[in-house]
């Protein structure tokens, strides 16, 4: 087993990784720890050249269970020259703007990364049924990987989640429970039913292995930039697992001697209608308050009470990053820009990072010579409702 032990992200308490584990007794998430010296002996740019083009190429720093894989990871890193040139930054535009297109993953979002590792591990640990609350995309990914693993899945989502997410879960054979509420209400439902029903809880950060899949976004950036990391990473933050995962990857890389203490400045982008992390950041707080009446077209950003708030805020501080909001109208507008200038049909969450870049470049926080990576976390094909609104408001007429 590659994972030596699990360690609490808040209090440091250690747990046995060879049995099913969820949260620490203090209520905070657990992180997987490896023998990184051993990993570094075989994991390097040269060896990576001949490995399969999935995230499992980083095997030494992942749980080594028999994998339930659908070909996830190694998504394109697109040089967005036209979009970069259109961003006002100093006297010219941004020449080194890149988009990591996570919409190219199985089930159309970066959620596939977390689910390949979590479902592989759950199956190995003997799980009989998998359950998770979801804003939409995580449910689709869990349902797909559960089907690939031959396990039943229960997906609990808000009744107003994008219709494509409901359909994909049903097509993958999962049981879908729709609730009139937010993802936080769906989380309560799973917590209340899991013991009685015998479900293995795959909720965000409530098991330690989704982070492990998500962290590979950080490893891929390093590999795709030829052994370097960018200056700035903009990430649409809901539960924050991708942001936490990438920062964990950077710490592991430093321990393996790949990089020094320098880090990309991490930027958490949230929706104006649901911004618990941004509000806490602006108030210089180390934890976030529950965000009341959360509402945004970017369903993945509608996470009013993220469990990883302490980690997210501390990583923003440690990397000298920042956090900012964008409105739904800005996201929909930016989605059209990204599509028409770069040929990328993005989720509103991904489009949000374009507006955030414009704002940070205009204020001088991003400098013209810097290498900047935007995460398009999902494909626009899942967001028929949002895109209909975007195209109508652009004068496209009735669809
Ligand atoms: C497309 C998309 N982007 C971003 C997020 C937020 O992800 P994270 O939990 O890693 O912050 C989600 C979560 O549902 C999502 O579906
Ligand atoms: Zn703890």
pTM of the model: 0.96
pLDDT at 397 over 80: no
Report the alpha-carbon distance of residue 140 to residue 160 in Å, rounded. Answer: 15
Report the alpha-carbon distance of residue 240 to residue 229 in Å, rounded. Answer: 20
CA nearest 297: which of 390, 392, 168, 377?
Answer: 390
Q: 270 in ligand 1 pocket by Cβ < 6 Å? A: no
Q: In ligand 1, which atom is closest to the CA atom of 349?
A: 3
**Ligand 1 atom 14: the closest Cα is on which residue?**
300
- Residue 358 phi/psi, 5-degree rounding, is -60, -45
Q: 162 in ligand 1 pocket by Cβ < 6 Å? A: no
Which residue do the tokens 């059209």 mark? 336
For 360-365, the CB contacts below 8 A with 24+ separation are: 360/232, 360/234, 360/267, 360/322, 360/324, 361/87, 361/88, 361/89, 361/94, 362/88, 362/89, 365/322
Q: 138 in ligand 1 pocket by Cβ < 6 Å? A: yes
Ligand 1 center to 90 CA (angstroms)? 31
Report the alpha-carbon distance of residue 49 to residue 139 in Å, rounded. Answer: 33
In this predicted structure, what is the pLDDT of residue 155? 98
Q: 377 in ligand 1 pocket by Cβ < 6 Å? A: yes
Q: 242 in ligand 1 pocket by Cβ < 6 Å? A: yes
Q: What is the pLDDT averaged over residues 178-197? A: 95
CA nearest 115: which of 178, 159, 172, 196?
Answer: 172
* pLDDT band with cut points at 50, 70 and 90 for residue 1: confident
pLDDT at 18 over 70: yes
* pLDDT band with cut points at 50, 70 and 90 for residue 92: confident
Report the alpha-carbon distance of residue 111 to residue 242 in Å, rounded. Answer: 9
Ligand 2 center to 7 CA (angstroms)? 8
Ligand 1 center to 135 CA (angstroms)? 8
* pLDDT band with cut points at 50, 70 and 90 for residue 209: very high
pLDDT at 391 over 80: yes
- Residue 158 phi/psi, 5-degree rounding, is -60, 145
pLDDT digits (tens, 9 = 90+) for 131-184: 999 999 999 999 999 999 999 999 999 999 999 999 999 999 999 999 999 999
Report the alpha-carbon distance of residue 388 to residue 374 in Å, rounded. Answer: 24
Q: 245 in ligand 1 pocket by Cβ < 6 Å? A: no
Ligand 1 center to 349 CA (angstroms)? 7
Q: What is the full DSSP assignment across 316-363? A: HHHTT-EEEEE-HHHHHHHHHHHHHHH---B-HHHHHHHHHHHHHHHT
Ligand 1 center to 38 CA (angstroms)? 32
């Amino acid at each position: 087993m590659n994972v030596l032990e699990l360690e609490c992200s808040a209090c440091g308490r250690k747990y046995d990784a060879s049995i099913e584990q969820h949260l620490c007794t203090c209520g905070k998430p657990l992180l997987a720890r490896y023998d990184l010296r051993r990993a570094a002996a075989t994991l390097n740019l040269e060896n990576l050249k001949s490995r399969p083009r999935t995230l499992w190429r980083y095997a030494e720093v992942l749980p080594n269970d028999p994998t339930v894989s659908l070909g996830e990871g190694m998504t394109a890193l697109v040089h967005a020259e036209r979009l970069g040139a259109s961003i006002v930054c100093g006297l010219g535009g941004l020449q080194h703007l890149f988009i990591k297109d996570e919409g190219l993953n199985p089930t159309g979002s970066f959620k596939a990364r977390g689910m390949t590792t979590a479902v592989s591990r759950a199956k190995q640990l003997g799980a009989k049924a998998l359950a998770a609350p979801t804003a939409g995309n995580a449910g689709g990914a869990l349902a797909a990987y559960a089907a690939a693993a031959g396990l039943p899945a229960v997906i609990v989502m808000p009744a107003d989640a994008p219709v494509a997410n409901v359909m994909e879960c049903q097509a993958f054979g999962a049981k879908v429970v729709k609730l009139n509420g937010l993802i936080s209400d769906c989380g309560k439902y799973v917590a209340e039913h899991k013991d009685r029903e015998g479900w293995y809880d795959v909720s965000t950060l409530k098991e330690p292995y989704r982070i492990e899949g998500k962290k590979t976004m950080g490893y891929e950036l390093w590999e795709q930039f030829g052994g370097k990391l960018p200056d700035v990473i903009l990430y649409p933050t809901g539960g924050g697992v991708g942001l936490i995962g990438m920062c964990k990857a950077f710490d592991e890389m430093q321990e393996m001697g790949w990089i020094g203490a320098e880090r990309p400045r991490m930027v958490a982008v949230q929706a104006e209608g649901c911004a618990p992390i941004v509000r806490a950041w602006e108030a210089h707080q180390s934890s976030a308050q529950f965000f009341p009446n959360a509402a945004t077209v970017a369903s993945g950003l509608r996470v009013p009470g993220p469990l990883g708030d302490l980690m997210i805020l501390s990583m923003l501080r440690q990397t000298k990053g920042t956090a900012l909001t964008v409105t739904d109208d800005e996201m929909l507008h930016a989605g059209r820009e990204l599509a028409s200038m770069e040929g990328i049909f993005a989720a509103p969450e991904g489009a949000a990072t374009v507006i955030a870049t414009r704002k940070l470049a205009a204020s001088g926080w991003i400098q013209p010579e810097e290498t900047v990576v935007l995460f398009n976390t999902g494909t626009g094909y899942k967001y028929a409702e949002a895109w209909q609104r975007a195209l109508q408001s652009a004068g496209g007429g009735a669809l």
